[in-house]
Amino acid sequence: MKFKEINLLVLTFLFSLPLLAEELKLEKKNTEFNVYTGMFDFSDDGKRATLVGVQHQDENLNRDTFLGNLSPVTGAMITADNASYFYTGVQAQYKIGSLNFTPSFAPGYYNEGNGKDLGHVLEFKSEVQLSLNLAEESQLGFSYNHLSNASLGDKNPGANSYMFNFFKKF
């Protein structure tokens, strides 16, 4: 009798493995990474610099609201002048066929390095992004953002940047 129960448990476990694997596959595709590069503060001839960055979004945390589908984002960027910005915030996503419009807002920590003095360590990033679905799990896009300290510091020069984005879901 014991032998039959053990065999039944083992068979049940083995037959459930494909289902577990499928669930894991679905879960993995809910994480999106955005790798981007562009020009930091392109409107300031004296302080413009190339930038690279990465952003993470977890679609398991999406919420449908009256503003649309909102999700948290976290990211970091660094410029050629060693200025860096670490942020976390929220983005909305609106789909129009294979085109995606994604506005976002994210406060964060800014370190000027050898780059532009933005007037405060707390900066707010407002961004708009357009992207095109390449396949089910990847997109190419273009984004524009503005960093500002909302006059928290003695000065608030701000910085305007543009980026080319590559998105991949895992």
Supply angle C-alpha 135, 105, 102, rounded to 5: 25
- pLDDT at residue 82 tops 60: yes
Per-residue model confidence (pLDDT) at position 147: 97
Mean residue pLDDT of the chain comes to 86
| Residue of 106, 74, 2, 85 whose CA lies nearest to 40 | 85
Residue 84 or residue 1, greater confidence:
84
Using the structure block, give the residue that is written with the tokens 């407002």: 126
Spatial contact of 83 and 114, defined as CB atoms under 8 Å apart: yes
Residue type, 125: K
Number of H helices, E strands in the chain: 1, 9
Q: What percent of the chain has pLDDT over 90?
A: 64
- pLDDT at residue 48 tops 90: yes
Residue 25 or residue 79, greater confidence:
79
Per-residue model confidence (pLDDT) at position 13: 54
Q: Which two tokens stand for residue 123?
A: 């900066």
Read off the pLDDT band of 63 (50, 70, 90).
Answer: confident
Per-residue model confidence (pLDDT) at position 12: 59
| Domains present along the chain, CATH in parentheses | 32-169 (2.40.160.20)
Per-residue model confidence (pLDDT) at position 18: 54
Mean pLDDT, residues 90-94 taken together? 93
Q: What is the pTM of this model?
A: 0.80
Mean pLDDT, residues 148-158 taken together? 94
